[in-house]
Amino acid sequence: MTEKAVPPPYLSFDPASRRVRLSPREPAFVQNPYEAYAFLHAASPAFFWEDYGHWCFGGYDDVNRLLRDRRFGRQNPAGVPDSRGVDQDRSHLASFDAVEANSMLELEPPVHTRLRTLVNRAFVSRQVERLRPRVEALANELIDGFPKDEPFDLIPAYATPLPITIIAEMLGVPVEMGPQLLDWSHQLVAMYTLGRTRETEEIANKAAREFSAFLRGYVAERRDAPGDDLLSLLIAAHEGDQKLSEDELVSSVILLLNAGHEATVHQTGNAVRAVLQQGGDPRRFVTTAEETAATVEECLRFEAPLHMFNRYAYQEMEAAPGITVKPGEQIGLLLGMANRDPAAFAEPHAFLPGRADQKNVSFGAGIHFCIGAPLARLELQVSLKVLFERLPGIKLASEPRFRDSYHFHGLEALPVSA
């Protein structure tokens, strides 16, 4: 530990054991995790986070390496991942567990390889690029509907409807179902937050049951009358003779709907906030396609929408010098902390689009690299460019606050005036 590294008042650190006590719900930490990250980068980028009960890694090189290390994976050797432990009665989570059991996010090869290969065809860059005119038209349509001459919240007016509409159209599910899809999604992702309750679990299980039933009915319709949408493609998709089973299909579509909007909503809000906090004319960040792409990459690095991603150890090993993990133990990979590592980035806390050392880990790495990254990048590029070109005078109406949800780092609201 360096002499100058002083922990913030809400964090306690024992340098001998590298143990940290830091509530992920501490208000000061929720609003600005980077103060704690800066201390930990100086003191020990790898540490045992007592509040979670496992080792965490926040150095860029460690996070990048461990995301790619096949001795770690998403599939819990002891069963379905559960922050309360796997020994307890899970009968009230039967529907939720059924969805998770076939989710490619929670699986490893060879099953993961087969699912990802089938789904990936719709998300390669050349396929996604065809969506650019539609995303641009939708962005303009949403801006046309903004309230005039009064502050409004950009999250429900712009950041939320754009990605949920695009992913619903891609899949071929009714766009008017958007609000219901959002409700189900929010209830499902609440399962991944620390300190969830029995009520949270029962609500998530009900959402999984209803979401699955809706999709099974819609799959039956598409089998009888296929279209040119992603759902029809997935129904017909095969690799060799291996088609998606209906359970795999339902889990894959739920994952794509959730992942197709959840992180993008947060990242859009975070990105607009970051740009507007720079002051001046926001159009300077989106003048050309190259500058817009560079701005999006810096937004992804500067204020990532996901701050912790967990992995399970598949064998006993030394994850880092002096840190041994056993099979079944979890580790936490701190994406938001890695993106602000002073050993990897010059001026890590400065917003510098076009920086020469851009290499953020916001989409992960390795075999679980975000399958929707090309779509998310395109949506962010288009939504920021159209927004700032249409409304160059847009300003924050008040200082936005982040939601009390450490893993999913997004704003409660984004009050703006245009």
CATH of domain 85-306+367-417: 1.10.630.10
Half-sphere exposure of 245 (CA within 13 A, CB side): 9
3-state secondary structure at position 77: coil
For the chain, which residues make up each domain, given as ranges? Answer: 85-306+367-417
CA atoms of 365 and 115, how far apart (whole Å): 18
pTM: 0.90
Per-residue tokens: 316:
């006993």
CA atoms of 324 and 96, how far apart (whole Å): 32
CA atoms of 305 and 408, how far apart (whole Å): 6
Would you list the DSSP string of 257-294?
A: HHHTTHHHHHHHHHHHHHHHTT-S-GGGGSSSHHHHHH
The widest CA-to-CA distance across the chain, in whole angstroms, is 69
Task: Give me the pLDDT at residue 84, please.
Answer: 44
Q: Which residues contact 89 (CB under 8 A, 6 or more apart)?
A: none
In order along its 418 residues, the chain shows pLDDT tens digits of: 444 678 999 999 999 999 999 999 999 999 999 999 999 999 999 999 999 999 999 999 999 999 999 999 877 766 544 544 444 678 898 899 888 877 776 667 777 777 787 777 767 777 789 899 999 999 999 999 999 889 999 999 999 999 999 988 988 888 898 889 889 988 988 887 777 888 999 999 999 999 999 999 988 888 888 888 888 888 886 555 667 788 888 888 888 887 778 889 999 999 999 999 999 999 999 999 999 999 999 999 999 999 999 999 998 999 999 999 999 899 999 999 999 999 999 999 999 998 999 999 999 998 888 888 899 999 999 999 999 999 999 999 999 999 998 888 999 999 999 8
Alpha-carbon radius of gyration of the chain: 21
Task: Give me the pLDDT at residue 1, please.
Answer: 41
